[in-house]
Amino acid sequence: MSLEIPQFSIGIEEEYLLVDKTSRSLAINPPKSLLKECKELLGNQVTNELLLSQIEIGTKVCNNIQEAREDLSRLRKNIVEVTARYGLAPIACSTHPFSRWSEQEQTPKDRYELLTREMQAVARRMLICGMHVHVGINDDELRIDLMSQLAYFLPHLLSLSCSSPFWNGEDTGLKSYRLTIFDNLPRTGIPTEFQSFSDYKRHIEILTNAGVMEDSTKIWWDIRPSAKYPTLETRIMDVCTRIDDAISLAALVVSTLRALYRLRMKNQRWREYSSMLIRENRWRAMRYSFDEGLIDFGKGSIVPFEELLDEFIEISIEDAKVLGCDKEVMDAKNILKRGTSAHRQLKTYESSIATGKNKDEALNDVVDMLINETAANL
């Protein structure tokens, strides 16, 4: 049976935190009319999340990265405009600089109540946001094959997206603290290697038959075959504060998947490494972002991230040109120049402290930076 040529369509989901523009703290219980207004404008492209202080948007199925940017920009802009009428603002970052999870209100939905009943405090602490990139790949076997190969690059993507250095008002020392929270859930992290789609399905059926989960939507790996759509869903990334960064990373994902598909058509493939090794780079990305490099498994040594990004781009650039997103892929180098959101948050905080502001004032300045950057270049 011949392999169906993938569409390589793109869909992007982003989760935002809603903050009060005066206090800069999270909006614990925003008016119900806020979400109603958003839905009147955006339909099913906007929804609430686990906590009332969160909101989620998702682009339509986009044929190329330009369509994805246009739709994501439209969604962000509408959320910014609607929330402003309530004295609120969205911030695209994976943790709030100082608001506490214990003070938040849960969204009254059956699926969220089931989640918190099963997971207890582990679920209640989920005051975190992420970005998910869907790439259209209709063939089930191909999705499993490409999932295994793309796993190597997941720490690279995380390194470029970090936006969660603070938790409960403290500098955690990590650039992506979000994953330390998320990893407390079961069925998270780097997925195991599967030999085929039927092998994957067997594993899912064992868990569903045992009654520990309803279906594969309760698989929360860093990358997974979507349970709802014919896509491969990359989920490791923190949500990017700047829309330019989000689009650059989405372009890297779709271009690399096309490059790996092209290798397969030549009966070649990217070398696969054990999940143990990839998890080590994942930790380095969480801790340092790109500051201290990642392990080059072939060399057996830590390599500066700039070299690894050059390799990443070299692998994907030919396919990026075919997909019309080579500029967006090359923009990943600008993330290195200006830093991730985590770098800029920490720099804002340190600069404010250096001018004589106290800790609370400095954290407020971080929130202001996040408000401004989330709404920029839309």
Q: Delimit the domains of the chain by residue range.
A: 10-374
- How far, in Å, CA of 111 to CA of 154, rounded? 28
Contact predicate 48/107, CB 8 Å: yes
- How far, in Å, CA of 120 to CA of 254, rounded? 36
- How far, in Å, CA of 159 to CA of 229, rounded? 27
Give residue 7's Cα distance to chain centre.
22
Over its length of 378 residues, how does the chain's per-residue pLDDT go in tens digits? 456 789 999 999 999 999 999 999 999 999 999 999 999 999 999 999 999 999 999 999 999 999 999 999 999 999 999 999 999 999 999 999 999 999 999 988 888 888 888 889 898 999 999 999 999 999 999 999 999 999 999 999 999 999 999 999 999 999 999 999 999 999 999 999 899 999 999 999 999 999 998 889 899 999 999 988 999 999 999 999 999 999 999 999 999 999 999 999 998 988 889 999 999 999 999 999 999 999 999 999 999 999 999 999 999 999 999 999 999 999 999 999 999 999 999 999 999 999 999 999 999 999 999 999 999 999
- How far, in Å, CA of 122 to CA of 100, rounded? 14
Torsion-angle region of residue 139: left (phi > 0), alpha (psi -120 to 50) or beta?
Answer: beta
Q: DSSP code of 221? A: E
Contact predicate 349/365, CB 8 Å: yes
Comparing CA positions, the residue from 205, 238, 233 lying closest to residue 221 is 233
Per-residue tokens: 135:
């790439």
pTM above 0.85, yes or no: yes
| Antiparallel, parallel or unpaired: β 188-189 and 220-221 | parallel
- How far, in Å, CA of 128 to CA of 105, rounded? 14
Q: What is the CATH number of domain 10-374?
A: 3.30.590.20
| Antiparallel, parallel or unpaired: β 166-167 and 170-171 | antiparallel
